[in-house]
Chains A and B, each alone.
Chain A
Amino acid sequence: MKFKSLSIFLIISSFFLTCILSIWKIMSTLQGLNFTNLNITTVFSICILLSLAFVLIGKKINHLIKIFSLSFLFSILYFYLNEASPYWYILGVFLINLFFTNKLKKYSMESLKEDFISEKIIFDFITLFGIVFFAFVILFPFYIMLVTSFKTQIALLVNPLDFSLDFTKSLTELFKSYFVIFETYNFGRYILISSAVSVGTVIVTLLFAIPAAYAVARLNFFGKNFLSTSILIIYMFPAIVLVIPLYTVFSQLGLRNSIFGLLIVYTATTLPVAIYMLQGYFKSIPKEIEDAGIMDGQNWFGIILKIIIPLSLPAIASVALYVFMIAWNEFLFSLMFLDSPKSFTLSRAIQYLSGDAETPRQYLMAGSVIVTLPVLFIFVYFEKYLVSGLTSGSVKG
């Protein structure tokens, strides 16, 4: 039994360490280091040695001394068994080992005798491995987007693996792609259009959605149930089936290539979700407060303006942020309705840029960074509001 759990412990923990070391190696390769071999078998065997040494030593010596000395020994071994590498790389290996051996703290020969220890080990390391895996898989494309925008086409063609940034260059050199897309490709204008459309959509949507949500939440009228179920059904309907009729009608009305046309469509498509989210929140406001308002002789307009809106500011803020993000990220309608570069939104402009095969990729990525940064910033800054809004209303995508 003990042998089984020991071997599971060794294999799983070494597998985890090997994975982290491989990711470290890949990331270092992208900094221009010349590795050509992941050396998985060698690394895996020294990882097993490390784990074995760790549990064998157990609690005989102080934990700190133990992890430092083991990590140090491991790094030296790693240095000799691998390709030549600079000192910062080995330092990274050493730090990874410190982190890893610290995680091993609770394991010793004694603890391996516990019930279900093999399952616990597997769960423990799958959790760790999962976190590293998810973080890597998610952040890697964003990282590539960012660093590509600082490189040049030639440098990337010569060595597609070298993403290291040359900080000796002047700032204007480093940010050259950004200057170019603003000067040659008019991105300043697209940012303005995108912001105008998104902010406009937010304002108009709220103007329509707040009264409607209040009526659905509070008042009794014929067709109310029908309305609240149809909100959900409409919300399920896809933009792609709206595109052809809207395109034809907008062409005849001359609304294509106009910010106004885009604004109408965005407002209409975000209204159902905005009403749905808001009415849920309005229902949670105690009715007595409104009754007091009615006593004071307020009409519905006064009630909404003076009672409902001040009390539901957080919900309104989260709806506003959502609608902003949906409108900012929207692509399908801007692709269909905008053909003239004069009225492009950012997303459409980037797509237009990519249509030309000659466009260097760093410009494309600089544009992508510009369109991504505001949403990520808003999201990170207001995460709390947004996450609670997401789970209550569920945003379409």
Chain B
Amino acid sequence: MSDTLSKLEKRTAYTLVLPAVLLVFAIVLFPIFANVWISFKDIELKDIRIPEPRAKKIVKSISENQSELKIIYKLRNSSLIQEIRNVQFQDKFPKNISPINLDPRCNFQSKKVICNFGNWEAKFRENFEITIKNNSGETIDKKTIKSQKPILSGKADNPLLSTNFTLENFKKVFYENNFVELLLTTFYFTFFGTVGAIIFGILAAQLVNQNIQGRTYMRGILLFPYVGPVVALAYTWTLLLDPNSGTLNALLVNFNIIEKPINLLGQKYITMSILGFEFKLRLALTTVIFFEIWRYFPLAFLFILARLQAIPQSLYEAADVDGASPIQKFIHITLPQITAIISILFMIRFIWNFNKFEDIFLLTGGASGTRTLPINVYQQGFAVSDIGMGSAVSIVIVMLLLTFMVIYFRLIGKRANEV
């Protein structure tokens, strides 16, 4: 009895879970494996369409005699690189109409012209003509002829499914792509973006956790950058930071803080001198990192605030009795309570920042030293239209991510044992 029940339970569970699992598998997991496949292929954006035979139909009258018409089919192979085999052509005509001097490749039966064009090589073009006449000598209506579309079919290889593989893409990724700089930029962006977001998150949470008026409003406002659409926010920042008529530069120049406007998003390096030491700062990258911090510190803030509010007030009261200073209270009570959430946040944000595409793309498009790995996927795949290469970069990202995740789960596992 209980056995049949548990069987029923299992069957129910699979029916309930399966649709969601299948969908996620098709859209999320399948592409990750497909990337591996594509990354070993020499394939470009223009190759991904399966070649198909096409025909454009043009109807012309030959003479005064309206019972005869000439039809020109502009035939072509849509692909510039691949042949189509065994092309079949079919077109239908109204009653009483039959072709004259039909091409030997075709035959006419039951109101249809059926042709067998054989193989078309890449870039194939032909103007194929049929002359038709009305058997009863009446005028043929051009429009009805024109409205009937020919049907073409043919076999072509799907370039995605072919089995010639190459290691060329990975060679290019590692040797011709400034790989080291790409990796360094990505880590620089990820690390400082994450640390900055967490520091500002702690500060903001600490502030809002005090007993101040309107703290629920404050919490809401602090989350605005996180919930707002990235397109709108990125363009607002671009306008604000614009060197020619941006508000920030105009303000700084107006108050004589700087002499000339600074192109914050378009300048790769800026030379700074502090205490006599001159060093170069990655200006555009730093600006993008600040945008990143601005947009994502609210998440860290929210998590840390939730943790802060769960700390028992009695701990602080006890500390007051012992005569602890505010700094001591922060270091000895607050910090130990939030280290767990901070380490989780660090890993989550690290992984997500590592994959961040939209923000950088919208602010700089990857120019002036802000090219990170995700930006490179886009540039290779869609700007250079080398799909294989873009996939290879994706694979590098996935590999690095898996490494992070292994580290993450190890650390979290350990931490769970500690607590």
Q: Could you tell me which A residues sit within 8 Å of B by CB distance?
A: 26, 29-30, 35-38, 115-116, 119-120, 123, 127, 130-131, 134-135, 137-139, 141-142, 144-145, 148, 156-157, 160-161, 163, 208-209, 211-212, 214-216, 219-222, 224, 227, 233-234, 236-249, 251-252, 264-265, 267-269, 271-272, 275, 300, 325, 328-329, 331-332, 336, 346-347, 350-351, 354, 361, 364-365, 367-369, 371-372, 375-376, 379-380, 383, 387, 390-391, 394, 396-397
Contacts and interface: CB of A to CB of B under 8 A. Distances in A.
B352 A365 contact: no
Given A134-B207, A350-B231, A376-B228, A215 B160 contact: no
Contacts of A265: 27
Interface in B226-258: 226-233, 235-237, 239-240, 245-247, 250-251, 254-256
A102 to B, nearest CB: 12
Given A219-B12, A240-B374, A268 B27 contact: yes
B336 interface: no
24 contacts: A36-B254, A116-B325, A135-B218, A138-B222, A138-B294, A144-B240, A221-B17, A222-B10, A236-B401, A239-B357, A240-B378, A241-B31, A242-B27, A249-B31, A272-B28, A328-B229, A331-B358, A346-B229, A350-B232, A368-B229, A375-B227, A376-B227, A394-B348, A396-B352
Contacts of B218: 131, 134-135
Interface of A is mostly: helix
A246 B31 contact: yes
A300 B9 CA distance: 9
Contact of B23 (A221, A267, A367): A267
Contacts of B212: 127, 131
A273 B220 CA distance: 22
B358 to A, nearest CB: 5
Interface string B210-225: 1010001011111111
Q: For chain B, give the interface size range.
A: 35 or more
Contact of B229 (A141, A160, A227, A375): A375
A75 to B, nearest CB: 22
Interface string B38-80: 1000000000111000000000000000000000000000000
A37 B226 contact: no
B45 to A, nearest CB: 9
A131 B269 CA distance: 32
A137 B254 CA distance: 19
B16 A368 contact: no
Nearest to A240: B374
Contacts of B357: 238-240, 332
Q: 6 closest pairs, A vs B, by CB?
A: A238-B355, A268-B27, A368-B232, A245-B34, A245-B31, A221-B13
A244 B394 contact: yes
Given A212-B20, A397-B299, A268 B28 contact: yes
B48 A251 contact: yes
B352 A241 contact: no
Contacts of B21: 212, 227
Interface string B132-166: 00000000000000000000000000101000000
Nearest to B404: A236
Contacts of B19: 208, 211-212
A76 B28 CA distance: 66
Given A29-B254, A222-B10, A397-B299, A368 B28 contact: no
A331 B224 CA distance: 18
Contacts, number: 286
A364 B236 CA distance: 9
Given A221-B10, A240-B355, A248-B38, A368 B235 contact: yes
Given A240-B357, A252-B160, A275-B20, A379 B401 contact: no
A339 to B, nearest CB: 11
Contacts of B231: 331, 347, 350-351, 368, 371
A154 to B, nearest CB: 11
For A139, A239, A248, the residue with the greatest tally of chain B CB atoms inside 10 Å of its CB is A248
A397 B229 contact: no
Interface in B326-341: 326-327
Contacts of A368: 229, 231-233, 235-236
Contacts of A380: 220
Contact of A391 (B303, B358, B401): B303
B130 interface: no
A297 to B, nearest CB: 14
